[in-house]
Chains A and B, each alone.
Chain A
């Protein structure tokens, strides 16, 4: 296992289109997190899962954003009707509950909305 994997690495889309990103966590990890990072800022929490259950979703998260983790393994993050303000790096991380101190991040998906 080489770590947390995210796909695609880069995505350019036109405003109003829908996009979907995928995250494959480290295989034995049961927690999975999504973050968003814009230039000059720290990662901003979006949502997280324990197995297939979505435990928390940021109040700042628009209802255009939805995330799933159907079998408790990989996760998808979908953004509907994208806006220019959605342009950011979308980061995924995973950890093993009980050892949450070891949360490892993927390389991220850079979204550009034009």
Chain B
């Protein structure tokens, strides 16, 4: 089956690193994604990783994939107040299946 789970809330201080975790169930997923949604806004594609990779780095973002445990994480270095948003993990088997989202709160 297809299911994606995320913790609902994360609070960090400005300048710290944030780590958002996600687990998924479909081992045939070809890509795994992170999307960002700010209040009242649409979904913004942040980054994605192909399922045969275990790490991808893109500026302040690092994605780690443990395919054996079906665990995906997004690390945001030097978190800023502008990073406050809801972050969605998604798996793809043709269509995207999303988690519930993790609300990241960054305190100054």
Contacts and interface: CB of A to CB of B under 8 A. Distances in A.
Interface in A24-81: 33, 35, 40-45, 48, 55-56
Interface in B83-108: 88, 90, 92, 94-101
Task: Sort chain B's interface into a size bin.
Answer: 20 to 34
Given A42-B101, A101-B33, A56 B42 contact: no
Given A45-B96, A100-B94, A101-B50, A108 B31 contact: no
B96 A33 contact: yes
Interface string B23-50: 0000000110101000001111100101
B86 to A, nearest CB: 9
Interface string A67-101: 00000000000000000000000010100000011
A81 B101 CA distance: 30
Interface of A: 33, 35, 40-45, 48, 55-56, 91, 93, 100-108
A17 to B, nearest CB: 25
B26 to A, nearest CB: 13
